[in-house]
Amino acid sequence: MNRKTTKKIVFLVLLAVMFGCQQENASQTRPSNCLIPVMTEGKSSNQFYLFAHVGHPAKGCPGCTQIAGELVHMDCHSHGSKCAVSAQVILDNYSGGISATTTDTFGLTSENFFNMPDRSLYYYTDENNNRVYLNIPGQMVYRDNTTLQFTFTGLSFTVGPIYSNN
């Protein structure tokens, strides 16, 4: 693929991200709580861009993440919507359900762990005008020692969100 084609693809992906996320979040000016498919060579794949708002102010937080047996506050982790985070992920089916593994090493955090809150990410509106969401249950994830990626498990697709995204 030449440089000009790559630039066009990147532009189209960014346009799709902004349009897709903004449809669900019309009152916001930045992508939030949505999932956008990555197109490869004109076909869909199991790769997606994940956008979410997470985290809360440190003031008044008695601790939201346990590190070495102590509760501490971590910026841009856990409940709330203070920080906009994003990651490129690959969705996989496994015997227990659906998982998502990041492919960009530091999209969510530079830490070796990420305290993901419950999130329902808008995916698309189906032919019956139902909004379909990818639901990620709250979980503490740790980087794989070899790949340095995070894997979220227990994901599900539903018509309508199951989490409030708070």
Whether 38 contacts 49, CB under 8 Å: yes
Whether 48 contacts 34, CB under 8 Å: no
From 137, 73, 138, select the one nearest 111 (Cα to Cα).
73
Give the range with max mean pLDDT: 1-5, 63-67, 117-121.
117-121
Token pair of 71 as six digits: 């509760």
Q: What percent of the chain has pLDDT over 90?
A: 62
pTM: 0.80
The string of pLDDT tens digits covering residues 80-135 is 999 999 999 999 998 878 999 999 988 899 999 999 999 999 999 999 999 999 99
Mean confidence (pLDDT) of the chain: 84
In this predicted structure, the answer to whether residue 145 has a pLDDT above a threshold of 90 is yes
Query: What pLDDT, on the 0 to 100 scale, is given for residue 64?
Result: 85
CB atoms within 10 A of CB 6: 10
Query: What pLDDT, on the 0 to 100 scale, is given for residue 31?
Result: 57
Interval 34-41 mean pLDDT: 86
Alpha helices in the chain (DSSP H): 3-24
Interval 38-65 mean pLDDT: 87
Query: What pLDDT, on the 0 to 100 scale, is given for residue 44?
Result: 67
Interval 15-25 mean pLDDT: 48
From 125, 151, 117, 148, select the one nearest 33 (Cα to Cα).
117
- Between 7 and 89, where is the model more confident? 89
Give the whole-angstrom CA distance, residue 129 versus residue 111: 39
Give the whole-angstrom CA distance, residue 81 versus residue 79: 7
